[in-house]
Structure 1
Amino acid sequence: MNTKGFEAMPLMKSNHAFIAVLLVIAGLFSSTGAASADAGFDRFIADFRSKATAAGISSQTYKRVFRGMDPDPDTLRLMAKQSEFVKPVWDYLDSAVSEARVARGRELLKEYEPVLRQVESRYGVDREAVLAIWGMETNYGGFMGKHNVIRALATLAYAAPRRKSFWRKELLKALSIVQAGHVRFENMEGSWAGAMGHTQFMPTSWEAYAVDYDGDGRRDIWTSIPDALASTAYYLKKHGWQTGKTWGYEVVLPRSFDYRLANDDTKLTLSGWTKQGVRRANGRGFPRPSDNAILVMPAGASGPAFLMLRNFYVIKRYNNATAYALAVGHLSDRIIGGGGLAGDWSREYLPLSRSETAELQSELNRRGFNVGTADGRVGPATRRGIRAYQRARGLIPDGYASIVLLARIKMDG
């Protein structure tokens, strides 16, 4: 489970934060600053001990875990890495829902059928959704991360320019997991940001949602696949999963569609969307017309459209990225025999980088389509401004910020 702020789609950090991180890294790895930087980390570990003691961590555990530890250089490098260009949703889906991942999911659906059936019965979460998250997070356990979780979290708690209280809370919880014997310190591997095990729980999420499915007294999401699958199902259940219902439907919009309804907020029943002329892409009817849904167009009118139900937003509680939740839902459908998406992505409509979005906002403001501060983030005001510009120019008012739209606005002069 990717921690909030570290989603499947790349996020931008502030320039100040970036510079601060680079300075930390330069200090850690320059020949003249290494001793000073290591001393700073050592001081952090020494000072943090009182917080650990107050949280119930024994002196023996603390000494054993931190003996000889230095900052994780990969964590520092990845923390500072900038992703100026956002990965298009179609590229993300091509990788996330590959034929190899679908085929492996179908094999595991059979292999773990008894466990998945029991987990589904106990928690009311559809087995294919649990499998899809396992596939998305670690490729079904193929890669669970190569970082020692406590070392990574200690590095972030020491050096991260933001959210230090968050990282320190996660570090304390990771220490308590080791002390309680759920996993050996040496085996506590995960991502550079501290997400752990087959389905990538942060330590505090592990505390709240991990379960001992196999009854061995340990909530072991690292080596016990049944524990990991059951823990994921329990997480989804506690966040409102609706048993036996899908995540959403791919749909086709009528030519006369009112795109003001595609605002990621308007909720109608499926029968209400039908009255607006929206139809399922496969031509079938909606099985439960009274279900509520929100229309989502990840690439605007140039790509497929979806009516998203409650379970889609439950998946987003696992990772708050539209592309991630869409990939989990689509992968789960493919695992149980569903086909590919019916609609095509118009791949020339590339999403904008942060700097390009700020340029788009400035251009809209200059032309009287006020979107507020040009901060590089597409929010409601920016989408309203885009729609107003599109209507004024006779374009489909989908509110989608693309490289094609930016070029069109700049051509206006």
Structure 2
Amino acid sequence: MQVMRSWAARSVPWIGLMGLLGSAQQASAGDYGGSPQVTQFIGEMTRDYGFASDQLNEVFREVERKQSILDAISRPAERVKPWSEYRPMFITDARIARGVDFWRQHEAVLARAEREYGVPAQVIVAIIGVETFFGRNTGNYRVIDALSTLSFDYPPRAPFFRKELREFLMLARDEQLDPLTLKGSYAGAMGLPQFMPSSFRAYAVDFDGDGHINIWTDADDAIGSVASYFKEHGWVAGQPVVSRASVSGPQVDDGLSPGIDPVKNVGQLRALGWSSHDALRDDLPVTAFRLQGAEGPEYWMGLKNFYAITRYNRSVMYAMAVHQLSESLVQARGVK
């Protein structure tokens, strides 16, 4: 990663520094220099956040509009896969084996993260495994190209991505990083844990104490940042994630949660024909859901830590994939 030592120093022209940084600045002229939308955005960043307009103008002269990103985000939604198809995408022998290796390689750091944040090592490893296959697939787009394309050429979500672009420029300034070199997904998610810029600024941590937060190539910082994220989103140390349920009777479907948020407690579900396989308090709020598994319908109660996982990605199946991958990692690590 290239470091910008004087980003925030308005008295030192950034354009002079950028000439020292190499490849990114040798690209062909970008697509946003002189754009009225970008001019307005730069004015806001200068007025509200203390950036120098000449520095930002120089950056945006190098930014490129990516039609492939607009094509990807505008593509019609695919058929929602049932759990029987979704699970095998993430719970694979290759991902489990790589996860065990990652755990062993970073065992001390993972143990420290678990002590400090209360988040089990296997959950942290599973998140990184599901998100990027332990760093194999972190994205090949320049983050600033992705966020600018979606901010200025994708009206349906422009406000969201413009906020993320603002956060990205601020994190690059905070960390003294060259914004033209940082890579991520087509939506601007970054590094081993695929943090959006706003999540980076809110939850990422310098877990190795080197003075910089690097979730792109520093596994220590990525591990600590995932743990920090979960703690801030309500992870409860030592508590389970889900409980399997048996069901009977005509009112079972009335117990299903309409979304991710818990709307009924265990006692209310019991009255509708749900029975947890674990001892749970009647007053405990849970997310009640059904998955179409390989052997038929599966009924589950998601607990507080399940809800915490859905703060990372608001999907029941995503949360279950993370949870079951974490269980598989524990089992495999105990065997190997």
Normalising by structure 2, we get a TM-score of 0.80
**1:317 Cα shift?**
0.7
- The equivalent residue for 2:133 is 139
| Residue 267 of structure 1, aligned match among 264, 269, 276 | 264
Question: What is the distance in 1 between the residues matched to 2:291 and 2:326?
Answer: 19
Q: Is the CA contact 1:296–1:305 (under 8 Å) kept in the aligned structure 2?
A: yes
Question: What is the distance in 2 between the residues matched to 1:149 and 1:335?
Answer: 31
Question: What is the distance in 1 between the residues matched to 2:270 and 2:37?
Answer: 56
**1:109 Cα shift?**
1.7
Question: What is the distance in 2 between the residues matched to 1:338 and 1:278?
Answer: 30
Structure 1 gaps of 5+ residues are 1-36, 281-285, 340-413
What SS does the corresponding residue of 1:297 show, helix, strand or coil? Answer: strand
Instruction: Report how many residues are paired.
Output: 297
Over the residues paired in the alignment, what is the CA RMSD in angstroms? 2.8
Question: What is the distance in 2 between the residues matched to 1:81 and 1:275?
Answer: 40
Q: Is the CA contact 1:57–1:175 (under 8 Å) kept in the aligned structure 2?
A: no
What SS does the corresponding residue of 1:252 show, helix, strand or coil? Answer: strand
| Residue 51 of structure 1, aligned match among 44, 52, 64 | 44
Q: Which range moved further: 293-302 or 132-141?
A: 293-302
- The equivalent residue for 2:109 is 115
Aligned in 2, Cα 1:114/1:338: closer, same or farther, shift over 3 Å? closer
**1:239 Cα shift?**
0.9
Structure 2 gaps of 5+ residues are 1-29
| Residue 298 of structure 2, aligned match among 292, 299, 304 | 304
What SS does the corresponding residue of 2:63 show, helix, strand or coil? Answer: coil
**1:183 Cα shift?**
3.4
What SS does the corresponding residue of 1:180 show, helix, strand or coil? Answer: helix
Letter in 2 for 1:145: G
**1:137 Cα shift?**
0.8
**1:288 Cα shift?**
5.7
Q: Is the CA contact 2:249–2:272 (under 8 Å) kept in the aligned structure 1?
A: no
For the pair shown, which has the larger CA radius of gyration, 1 or 2?
1
Aligned in 2, Cα 1:331/1:273: closer, same or farther, shift over 3 Å? farther
Aligned in 2, Cα 1:337/1:211: closer, same or farther, shift over 3 Å? same
- Deviations 1:227-276 (CA, angstroms, capped at 9, x unpaired): 111111111101110101121133333x4473145321553348974995
Q: Which range moved further: 290-299 or 115-124?
A: 290-299
| Residue 258 of structure 1, aligned match among 246, 251, 270 | 251
Question: What is the distance in 2 between the residues matched to 1:159 and 1:308?
Answer: 38
Question: What is the distance in 2 between the residues matched to 1:39 and 1:231?
Answer: 33
Q: Which range moved further: 267-276 or 203-212?
A: 267-276
Matched, 1:103 2:97: yes
**1:277 Cα shift?**
6.3
- The equivalent residue for 2:175 is 181
| Residue 242 of structure 1, aligned match among 236, 244, 248 | 236
- Deviations 1:4-31 (CA, angstroms, capped at 9, x unpaired): xxxxxxxxxxxxxxxxxxxxxxxxxxxx
- The equivalent residue for 2:275 is 278
- The equivalent residue for 2:209 is 215
**1:82 Cα shift?**
1.0
What SS does the corresponding residue of 2:265 show, helix, strand or coil? Answer: strand
Letter in 1 for 2:90: A
Q: Is the CA contact 1:183–1:220 (under 8 Å) kept in the aligned structure 2?
A: no
**1:302 Cα shift?**
4.0
| Residue 162 of structure 2, aligned match among 149, 165, 168 | 168
Q: Is the CA contact 1:270–1:293 (under 8 Å) kept in the aligned structure 2?
A: no
Q: Is the CA contact 1:182–1:220 (under 8 Å) kept in the aligned structure 2?
A: no
- The equivalent residue for 2:119 is 125
| Residue 195 of structure 2, aligned match among 197, 201, 219 | 201
**1:338 Cα shift?**
7.5
**1:81 Cα shift?**
0.9
Question: What is the distance in 1 between the residues matched to 2:310 and 2:169?
Answer: 28
Question: What is the distance in 2 between the residues matched to 1:271 and 1:109?
Answer: 40
- Deviations 1:283-330 (CA, angstroms, capped at 9, x unpaired): xxx266575533310339942221211111111111101111111111
- The equivalent residue for 1:231 is 225
- Deviations 1:113-160 (CA, angstroms, capped at 9, x unpaired): 100000011111111111111111111111101111111111111111
